[in-house]
Chains A and B, each alone.
Chain A
Amino acid sequence: MIHHHPTETTLAAYATGTLPEALALVAATHIARCAACRQAVATLEATGGAVLDEVTPVALSGEALDRLLVRMDEPPRAVPPVLNPELPAPLSRVSLGRWWPVGPGVRYRPWRASGVAWGGLLLAQPGRSLPRHGHAGLELTCVLSGRFADGSGEFAPGDLSEPVTDHDQPPLVIGTQPCLCIIASEGMRLRGLLGFAQRMIGR
């Protein structure tokens, strides 16, 4: 049962295609598991469809249709290969770097993403805290396995954390299993050891 969801504005940015790639990957991981958010995205996409119907058309060039008619036998664009079959579908084709130790019991594995946000996988052992983020911009965390808790509640697989206010309590891995999350953040860098590792890795 999923208890923690992205905010409506984040879902709207996802549906209109304006969420930076790294954040969109975290959102997609949650949405793939969450029927309520899939429904919200469907509503927003239908709004996009209504907007398309409403817009004042702008004529295409005169030969546009003829040009397309000769291209109709082209094969559809190739889908990128699956690189990480062990990860949920939205992450399976993402190009990931190596694991980096970023503190006792915590490892981080960045992915390459375009845009103003960065992200990666974070693996923390039971009893460890997840690294603190600054809260200068949007920050998303989705649990893949294990559980953590912070000032706003407990997060189990599928739950998405989108802190809207600063809270002092750092996320702490609870239970007996390590906690694997995907994280993404825009505009600022992580503090402490993870921040240091991030600078070493280059992003």
Chain B
Amino acid sequence: MNQPGPTRSGPDHATLIEAVALHRDRAAFADLFGYFGPRVKAWMLRAGCNATAAEELAQETMLAVWQKARQFDPARAGASTWIFTIARNLRVDTLRRERHPSDLMPDPAAEPEAPIQADRVLAIAQREIRIRAALTLLPPEQAEVIRKAFFEDKIHAEIEKELGIPLGTVKSRLRLAIYRLRAVLGDLT
């Protein structure tokens, strides 16, 4: 598998993105590429892209990471979360061949912010770790719906068909899962 391995989590990736932002550090970028490129490709494949499109979108995502590294704000999102949103927006753009609202919304990361608070950065980095833990603790039927929504990118009616459960049940499981994840995360915005 590609370097660095999964043990190199949250805060390290944030440091690498900052090295790209501040010093255009190509070695740091290569590390990020090695970790996230194959993951973004896997996510694209699960979301229904063919192999060519998944490869292309993974490369475009990583190019955007290089180009937008200065907009990364560790006080707003962890590294994995930030890269997920870039990948998601590119995929939506490709599907729609148009803009995505998230690109149209004012991007707070693009504006100069107040001095970064170290404890907040740490809390945001911890958030991804806590979410991963919380996902493993969800009741299986809730975890299944969350995974289908995120991994396989199913719209809710498709989940309904696939699991053979009523749409109302899909929605209530999703709602319960989201409540639980939000409870785990507390008040961080």
| Among B76, B105, B174, contact of A9 (Cβ-Cβ < 8 Å) | B174
Q: A28-B104, A55-B39, A67-B59 are in contact. Are A7 and B135 (CB under 8 A)?
A: no
A16 beta carbon closer than 8 Å to chain B: yes
Chain A residues packing against B (C-beta within 8 Å): 7-9, 11-13, 16-18, 21, 24-25, 27-28, 31-32, 35, 38-40, 42-61, 64-65, 67-69, 71-72, 74-76, 79-80, 89-94, 113-115
**Does B84 contact A52, Cβ atoms closer than 8 Å?**
yes
B1, B84, B98, B189: most-surrounded residue (chain A CB, <10 A): B84
How many cross-chain pairs have Cβ atoms below 8 Å apart between A and B? 198
Give the chain A neighbours of B135 by CB distance below 8 A: 47, 50-51, 54
CB-nearest residue of chain A relative to B2? A57
On whether the beta carbons of B83 and A49 are closer than 8 Å, the reply is yes
Cβ of B112 under 8 Å from chain A: no
Q: Interface majority SS on B: helix, strand, loop or mixed?
A: helix
**What would be 16 A-B contacts, judged by CB atoms less than 8 Å apart?**
A8-B178, A13-B156, A39-B182, A43-B178, A46-B185, A48-B81, A48-B150, A49-B77, A50-B80, A50-B135, A57-B38, A65-B33, A65-B37, A68-B62, A68-B63, A71-B63
Contacts of A69 in B (CB 8 A): 26
- Contact of B182 with A40 in the complex, beta carbons under 8 Å: yes
Taking CB as reference atom, which chain A residue is nearest B98?
A: A114
